[in-house]
Amino acid sequence: MKNDANDAVSLRDVTKRFGAVRAVDGLSLDIPVGQTVALLGPNGAGKSTTIGLLLGLLAPGSGTVRVFGDSPENAIRSGRLAAMPQEGGLVPRTTVGELVGFVSGTYRSPLPLDEVMATAGLEGLAGRRMERLSGGQAQRVRFALALAGDPDLILLDEPTAALDVRARREFWESMRAFAARGKTILFSTHYLEEADEYADRVVVIDRGRIAADGTSREIKRLVALSTVSVTATGDAASLERLPGVVSAEVRGGRAHLRTRDADATVVALAAAGAVRDLEVVPAALEDAFIALTELTEPVPGPASALTETGVEA
């Protein structure tokens, strides 16, 4: 039997219902120490409910939830588990240094304050008052508050929501510094490019179950639909008969072929003398995500059922 203590996160056959809606449906997931994992899924897929279970904010209907082999509550009490909220947690009329220093003082073995500030990218902002922070700076402060106890695992629910491109990039630079210390990160996001660039592993959840689990490259291969574009005058019906092609469209004098085997498609085009202005674009993570989840609309009901917990399905 697998020893859950060897993993930062271990869920076994976890379910969670809200009335007639099963937000999490027999979910099993292990995250080894030191991984950065992106949790993806359409609205209502169960991402935030899963994070709520890992934080002990929600109790599973069945199954087990373990963090470093212990309960989420004990992991939080010991300082090994921390979370960064999307908003809130910042006290007005205080400076960054005062707030981060106060929170650090509540832990038995806090991370040195200067290291917290450096990892969160807050050098030079210690004297800045909370009400004068930009959105990106405020998120860095929330990250610093989560770092204060020197946790081994941080859970992030949509950490860069509403941030501009530059602020998002700066935030992830801070997260990389945290991960470089051998720490574990689990984050949910709707920005698929973040998962593609920063996650060691991508877990796609749909309807409360795992739809796919692997590296970004492996997830893309599950769908394996590349686009081959050439200058062509043929009709779409004949092009769809080429090896690997699942759909074809001709517009503006160019053929756009969606194919499961780009190599075979290009070879066939070359044999027909139809390779002009060739362009091959591999499948993106977004393509895989759409194919795996089919952009399922959230089921009416669970959002209101979760209002009291502050966690969305």
Q: Give pLDDT tens digits for 31-72.
A: 999 999 999 988 888 998 999 999 999 999 999 999 999 999
Q: How confident is the model at residue 274 (pLDDT cuts 50, 70, 90)?
A: confident
Instruction: State the fold for domain 225-282.
Output: Alpha-Beta Plaits (3.30.70)
The answer to whether the 4-80+151-220+291-305 and 225-282 domains have the same CATH topology is: no
Q: How confident is the model at residue 190 (pLDDT cuts 50, 70, 90)?
A: confident
Assigned token pair, 94: 């205080």
Could you tell me how far CA 70 lies from the centroid of its own chain? 24
**Helix, strand or coil, per DSSP, at residue 15:** strand
Q: Give pLDDT tens digits for 288-304.
A: 777 777 644 433 333 32
Residue 309's region, left for phi above 0, alpha for psi from -120 to 50, else beta, is: alpha
Sequence spans of domains, the chain:
4-80+151-220+291-305, 225-282
Q: What pTM value is reported for the model?
A: 0.74
Residue 220 scores a pLDDT above 80: no
Closest listed residue to residue 187, CA positions, set 35, 36, 26: 36
Instruction: State the fold for domain 4-80+151-220+291-305.
Output: Rossmann fold (3.40.50)
If residue 74 lies in a helix (H) or strand (E), which one and from where to where? helix 72-77
Q: Give pLDDT tens digits for 85-127.
A: 877 768 999 999 999 999 999 998 899 999 999 989 898 999 9
